[in-house]
A and B are shown apart, each in its own frame.
Chain A
Amino acid sequence: MSITFSAGVLVALLALFLGAGVWIFSGLMLVGASAMYFVLDFNLVRIGAIATRVISSSAISWELAAIPIFMWMGDIIFRTDISQRLFRGLAPLVARIPGGLLHTNVFGCTVFAAISGSSTATTATVGKITIPELQKRGYDLRLSAGSLAGAGSFGLLIPPSIAMIVYGVLAEVSIAQLFAAGVIPGLMMAGLYVGYIAIVSLMDPSRAPRFDGEVTARAMGRGLLELLPIVLLMFVVLGSIYSGLATPSEAAAVGVFGAILITVVTGQFSLRLMRDSLLATIRVSAMILMLIAASSFLSAAIAYMQLPTQITEGISALQLSPYGVLLILAALYIVLGMFLDGTSMTVMTVPIAVPLIVQAGFDPLWFGIYLVIMIEMSALTPPVGLNLFVLQGLTQRTMGETVRATLPFFLLLCLGTVILAVFPEIVLWLPSRL
């Protein structure tokens, strides 16, 4: 059984089942079972014993509890007026920067990302308010849509982050450390976006009209007050992790408590809101958790085939430089990212990519951040890009226009990755301070 044969069969099976449109969770199970049957020659009794034990065991997990609970918190916030407050609060603060209110996208997403674990939720929540407001004021749609889609992906880079929890569980990297590692790269990406928007607006002022309102100290003070609830929630969630009051899973529960408290204080609480948010949460959580459980079986099949060791040995025989390995992986992730969502991409590649990356001399913690950026990029690439779909919904433009609008921000993400590869300390410094 050669490595090319088993890897080839695996890729063919994936192409068959996923290409035919089989639901991904069942597709992964089918690929795992078929690979065991055809490549490893296991009998059905043994395959059944392996599959049930591994799938069930992977779902029984304290760490994974953070996923549904963080999603619940995000969904409660999604159903309140927090996003209006974000826009009203940020507008006077960013008005004087070249590009004006376009920066509400970047700053709004950065702030919202600090309480939300998902990039789709971040894009949708912030964009729901900013896109109509920016259009009303005559801002260039390409720039406003593009910056939103790009910045929305901070939802995963700035803690809390569902993608980091998934990676942390699969790669056995500390989730608290991953959360800390994402902060500075997240702010750096936000800086790149702000800089790009400012430069483009200076070069072509017609794309971003100057802010017409007066920017007084009082307006800025009122703005800060509007931001208070969301900033409080941010401090509660991240503060409880880094003060040791709560572990990441526990911080999620504290966040839910804080979010419910905010809805009560602002008079937005209702049983209907609770019911709707709960149902929406378990619907998405079930999807993500089923993917993780199913992929754990596929990973087991890959391990029984001894692919991770063989591929690692094969690639190390190629004598690639560490940057060569990163480049190959980036190419792989961009191709996969065209068709798959971030969770599927993570769960399918981590068992092979992590040993590879460790051997190339990279820190698994650093690779977690690299992977999150790859996931963010996948949300911006057609034909399947979650943030592109959100944007299409908000702007009613064609896929082609949407892709052109987001392209510069996709390229900025690539640039960010290169910077992180050259200066890994940007990622590793903060966690090492903890």
Chain B
Amino acid sequence: MSDLNKQQLPEIEEYRHPEKTDDPVWLGAIARVSTLLNKTAAVISATLLVGMTALILLEICMRFFSTSTYMADVLVGYGVAAITFLAAPWALEEGAMIRVTALTDRLNGWARWLAEAFSVVTAGSIMWFLMTHQWGSVTKLYSRGSTSEHFIPIPLWIPESFFLIGLALLLVQFVVRGLRLVAVGHADERALNI
């Protein structure tokens, strides 16, 4: 298996970060900021998973006493969205986001570079496109002051922001990959070994 498709098994494989990179200094700095943001979002996402599990267990216990938090399903629902969008950028960075590499593996040189450039540019564009629209949604909900219709009303812009943040972080990462592609000729965070 080539480097590009070695992440076929996100469930059991850990991503091995290279000890050395061939990034120029300026790119390394941008990449580190992106990584730091992604890791922070991932840690928040992991914490939320613990919180959701605990909330569900609490709800089950309360049901024994014929009472309820009345909020478990809505909070857990928002939690799923948060986990999805906040952990996605880190998952992409760790190579867990799957892609079909059966064809690109057979390409070499400029053809492969072109396929990778196409992937990075199109993926980055759709993130940008969605981000601008999601920004509109979040600001609209914020200024309208809409809340969810639950026991404790939750401002609707909060769950919608998870998606916005996720899109922004994904976009930053695609930009980093794009710059790396231009600067050093490959998009992954790895040193060329010949």
**Touching in the complex, A and B, CB below 8 A?**
yes
Known: A59-B81, A65-B79, A257-B57. A24 touches B100 (CB 8 A): yes
Q: Are A284 and B10 in contact (CB under 8 A)?
A: yes
- Which residues of the partner chain B approach A61 to less than 8 Å between Cβ atoms? 77, 80-81
CB distance from A134 to the nearest CB of B (A): 20
Q: Are B57 and A339 in contact (CB under 8 A)?
A: no
- Which residues of the partner chain A approach B45 to less than 8 Å between Cβ atoms? 282, 286
Report, as a range, how many residues of chain A touch the other chain. Answer: 35 or more
Q: Are B104 and A21 in contact (CB under 8 A)?
A: yes
How distant is the Cα of A7 from the Cα of B149 in the complex, in angstroms? 40
Quick one: which of A305-347 are within 8 Å of B by CB? 339-341, 344
How distant is the Cα of A64 from the Cα of B77 in the complex, in angstroms? 8
- Which residues of the partner chain A approach B77 to less than 8 Å between Cβ atoms? 60-62, 65
Interface flags for A196-221 (1: CB within 8 Å of B; 0: not) read 00000000000000000000000000
CB distance from A276 to the nearest CB of B (A): 9
A105 within 8 A of B: no
CB distance from B43 to the nearest CB of A (A): 9
Q: Are B80 and A289 in contact (CB under 8 A)?
A: yes
Interface flags for B1-34 (1: CB within 8 Å of A; 0: not) read 1001000111110100000000000000000000
Interface of A: prevailing SS: helix
Q: Are B80 and A65 in contact (CB under 8 A)?
A: yes
B37 within 8 A of A: no
- Which residues of the partner chain B approach A283 to less than 8 Å between Cβ atoms? 10, 42, 87, 90-91, 94, 96
Q: Which residue of B lies closest to A29 (CB)?
A: B126
How distant is the Cα of A45 from the Cα of B99 in the complex, in angstroms? 28
Interface flags for B120-138 (1: CB within 8 Å of A; 0: not) read 0011001101101110110
Residue in B90, B91, B134, B136 with the greatest tally of chain A CB atoms within 10 Å: B91
How distant is the Cα of A56 from the Cα of B78 in the complex, in angstroms? 10
Q: Are A285 and B87 in contact (CB under 8 A)?
A: yes
Enumerate 24 A-B pairs (CB-CB under 8 Å) in ascending A order.
Answer: A18-B100, A21-B115, A23-B97, A30-B123, A56-B134, A56-B160, A60-B81, A62-B73, A62-B80, A65-B80, A124-B11, A245-B60, A250-B59, A250-B60, A279-B42, A282-B42, A282-B45, A282-B83, A283-B10, A283-B87, A284-B96, A289-B83, A290-B91, A384-B8
A interface, CB within 8 angstroms of B: 17-27, 29-30, 33, 44-45, 48-49, 51-53, 55-56, 59-62, 64-65, 68-69, 71-72, 78, 118, 120-121, 124, 245-246, 249-250, 252-254, 256-257, 278-287, 289-291, 293, 339-341, 344, 383-384, 386, 389-390, 393
18 additional A-B pairs beyond A21-B100, A282-B91, A289-B80, beta carbons within 8 Å, are: A20-B115, A20-B119, A21-B104, A22-B99, A24-B100, A29-B130, A52-B133, A56-B134, A56-B160, A59-B81, A64-B80, A121-B12, A245-B60, A282-B46, A287-B88, A290-B88, A383-B102, A389-B9
B interface, CB within 8 angstroms of A: 1, 4, 8-12, 14, 42, 45-46, 49-50, 52-53, 56-57, 59-60, 73-74, 76-81, 83-85, 87-88, 90-92, 94, 96-104, 115-116, 118-119, 122-123, 126-127, 129-130, 132-134, 136-137, 159-160, 163
